[in-house]
């Protein structure tokens, strides 16, 4: 959970003031970071619920989220890789399950958004019938995303992200 002080601390660290917003958007830094945090939380699954929270349209919320996410992935990609606690996590899983060598769970995460006027086909997932970004992430037992591989467009699947990430070689 983030309080107001932590949110204000994140703004300069993430460089929110330096984002080049598309479509003439000019959200406040606080609003932008709150939209990002809400969308990345377990609550942020349906844009229609966010209208009540943020008092902006689905399109506006989606565009702000997309711009801030692209900014973070572009500028901080090197920090979004593995945590150094892999052995601790493997030991924790072994204690509970009794199986060695498991330290996290890999999955693809699809984040739908309202379609944009640019390059719609690249982001459309025929399977889920939505325009979306996808991420490949590894979740560790302490519920932390220890790896977040780059953004993918909608049509790609889990296997495509796994092949592209070259995680097998890295691990």
Can you give the pLDDT at residue 107? 79
Can you give the pLDDT at residue 151? 75
d(CA 133, CA 31): 21
Q: What is the pTM of this model?
A: 0.54
Cα dist from 115 to 4, 41, 71, whole Å: 31, 22, 19
Can you give the pLDDT at residue 27? 92
Residues lower than pLDDT 50 in the chain:
none
Can you give the pLDDT at residue 122? 67
Can you give the pLDDT at residue 12? 92
For residue 4, count CB atoms less than 10 angstroms from its CB and return exposed for 0-12, middle for 13-18, buried for 19 or more: exposed
Can you give the pLDDT at residue 48? 64
């Amino acid at each position: 959970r983030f309080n107001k002080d932590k949110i204000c601390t994140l703004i300069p660290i993430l460089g929110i003031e330096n984002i080049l917003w598309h479509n003439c958007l000019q959200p406040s830094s606080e609003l932008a970071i709150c939209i990002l945090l809400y969308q990345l939380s377990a609550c942020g699954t349906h844009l229609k619920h966010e209208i009540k929270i943020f008092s902006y349209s689905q399109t506006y919320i989606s565009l702000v989220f997309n711009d801030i996410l692209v900014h973070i992935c572009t500028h901080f990609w090197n920090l979004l890789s593995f945590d150094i606690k892999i052995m601790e996590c493997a030991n924790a899983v072994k204690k509970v399950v009794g199986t060695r060598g498991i330290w996290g769970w890999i999955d693809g995460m699809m984040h739908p958004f309202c379609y944009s006027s640019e390059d719609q086909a690249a982001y459309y997932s025929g399977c889920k019938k939505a325009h979306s970004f996808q991420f490949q992430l590894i979740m560790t037992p302490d519920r932390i995303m220890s790896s977040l591989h780059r953004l993918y467009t909608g049509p790609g699947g889990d296997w495509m992200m796994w092949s592209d990430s070259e995680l097998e070689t890295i691990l």
